[in-house]
Amino acid sequence: MSTEAKLQELFSRSEELEALRGIGDGLAWDQEVMMPKKGGPLRARQISVLASLSHERLTDPALGELLQELSSDGELNEWDAASVRELKRQYDKGVRLPSDLVRELALTGSLAYEAWVEARQKSDFAAFAPHLEKMLQLKRRQAQCLRNGGTLYDALHDSYEPGMTSAQLDELFAVLRPRLSGLLGRIQESPNQPDRGLLQRPVAVDVQNDFGRSVLSAMGFDWQAGRLDVSPHPFCVGISPLDVRMTTRYSETQLGRAFFGMIHECGHGLYEQGLEAARFGQPVMSSVSLGVHESQSRLWENVIARSRAFWSHWLPKLAERAPNLSDVALDDWVHAVNLVEASYIRVEADEVTYGLHIILRYEIEKALVEGELEVEDLPEVWNDKMEEYLGIRPGNAAEGVLQDTHWSQGLVGYFPTYLLGNVYAAQLHAKAQQDLPDLEQQIATGRMRPLLDWLRQKIHRQGSLYRPVDLISRATGSAPDSKHLLDYLESKYAALYRL
């Protein structure tokens, strides 16, 4: 078989795998956004069957042979070589996992998710604990299958941020934690606090929705290739680059929650829409890591949409639709949307405390996986750490350990990628400012496409051509480093709070 024919065979198989992944993401979206209440158990069976089929196709020995042959084929161009590398990485992981484990993970995840929804509503950790216990057993089994010299936790984290170890995370977080805590302390002591009431002024849900959509359009989101709906826990899935679905949630007196949530998910959505449709289905044309994905959402949500330049254009437009905001001064508004405070809920945390929420989860899930922490002790440990890092103690499980959906769905080792996203976002933005000298001016006049085009070129269109760390290094000219995030935060908040 010629190299060309082998590649065609490879792409035909990867298109099939990609189609199954897209179907699975569509089912997950449907489950959160559309599915009637009683549909859960039979949906769980569907998801489990699909996961099992995908696993079977991924681990087909014929695919293994093909990948083996192509791996040592010197004729491949860099795109095709990256496709072979990416699919081989998944194949190598896949063959280490027995089919029954894959099926059980999917089934348990679907049922545990339903249990988590109910447990969170009732703030009843005990109702969720057996599901979490079961899930952790499965995840440890999975980690034992996947581990490759490193720790159990590394084996799980590697699926989300390929190549990044917990030793590296420890190092990054060791720099971040004290400086974030220090910054938080200085902010809390500042006499210059924003008026938090500004963001609590009631704005009708329709207006929030309409205004949010107009901003997303200006960012470049293609509504013919995507949609926005409502779900309790906002998220974004790319069923394909031409079918990207985001969700948000509304409350009349919490404009910021819906608005910044929309911008955040749209950052993810623009990455998915930015994958090259013509090459889609080839292993190289997929997002490279969750950390890089999160860098896109965080860059738009925090660095852009919480900037003075951004609101100098958009605040008057918002006030046109919401007249009870027309008396708000720009600087007061910008300070208010950058309110920093110790709070319970990660997804509503500001960008200074956010990292502390992540470091807490990272430490806890690592201990759970490594068997250093029991599920029953979890609420206590969670609350103790909240007190230590943020100085506050949750009053119940819903605002504590039950707030996130991740563990219920088996997403263990996932949380650190959120903080990596912040690190990468600040670094990308610093470089974008160099490459686009009038970036701030563009944002201040509502023109966001030049930044999108820069991201398209530097990140989105690259797919998985390079490993995450290499991608960031190529895009910015230097290896990932938390100093960009800390510089950005310290200088921004020194100005806002006049520190």
Binding site for its own copies (CB under 8 A): 15-16, 19-20, 22-23, 26-27, 30, 34-43, 45-46, 48-50, 53, 222-227, 239-244, 277, 280-281
Cβ(180)–Cβ(190) below 8 Å = no
Strand partners, 230: 248
CB of residue 36 vs its own copies: minimum separation in angstroms? 5
Q: What distance in Å separates the CA atoms of residue 319 and residue 317, rounded to the nearest whole number?
A: 5
Rounded to 5 degrees, φ, ψ at 172 are: -60, -45
Q: What distance in Å separates the CA atoms of residue 45 and residue 88, rounded to the nearest whole number?
A: 28
CB of residue 132 vs its own copies: minimum separation in angstroms? 25
CB of residue 39 vs its own copies: minimum separation in angstroms? 4
Nearer to its own copies, 19 or 499 (CB): 19
Rounded to 5 degrees, φ, ψ at 448 are: -110, -5
Residue 118: Cβ within 10 Å count:
11
CB of residue 69 vs its own copies: minimum separation in angstroms? 24
CB of residue 264 vs its own copies: minimum separation in angstroms? 20
What is the DSSP annotation of 355-385? HHHHHHHHHHHHHHHTTSS-GGGHHHHHHHH
Residue 82: Cβ within 10 Å count:
22
Question: Which residues have a Cβ under 8 Å from the Cβ of 494 and sit 6 or more positions away?
Answer: none
Q: 29 vs 44, 282, 307, 377, CA distance in Å? A: 13, 23, 31, 32
Q: Is 265 one of the annotated active-site residues of the chain?
A: yes
Cβ(415)–Cβ(365) below 8 Å = yes
CB of residue 105 vs its own copies: minimum separation in angstroms? 16
CB of residue 224 vs its own copies: minimum separation in angstroms? 4
Strand partners, 280: 282
Q: What distance in Å separates the CA atoms of residue 213 and residue 227, rounded to the nearest whole number?
A: 10
Q: Dihedral sign for Cα 132, 133, 138, 141, please.
A: positive
Q: 350 vs 356, 383, 490, CA distance in Å? A: 10, 19, 14
Cβ(477)–Cβ(431) below 8 Å = yes
Residue 180's nearest CA partner among 486, 487, 424 is: 486
Nearer to its own copies, 268 or 306 (CB): 268
Nearer to its own copies, 35 or 204 (CB): 35
CB of residue 316 vs its own copies: minimum separation in angstroms? 30
Looking at residue 238, the DSSP 8-state letter turns out to be E
Q: How distant is the alpha carbon of residue 480 from its chain centre?
A: 18
Residue showing tokens 């998915």: 272
CB of residue 285 vs its own copies: minimum separation in angstroms? 12
Task: Given the residues 18, 265, 294, 351, select the one marked as catalytic.
Answer: 265
CB crowding 180-189: b at 16 or more within 10 Å, else e:
bbebbebbee
Q: Dihedral sign for Cα 251, 256, 257, 259, please.
A: positive
AA letter at 113? Y
Query: Helix (H, G, I), strand (E, B), or coil: what is residue 340?
Result: coil
Q: Known catalytic residues?
A: 265
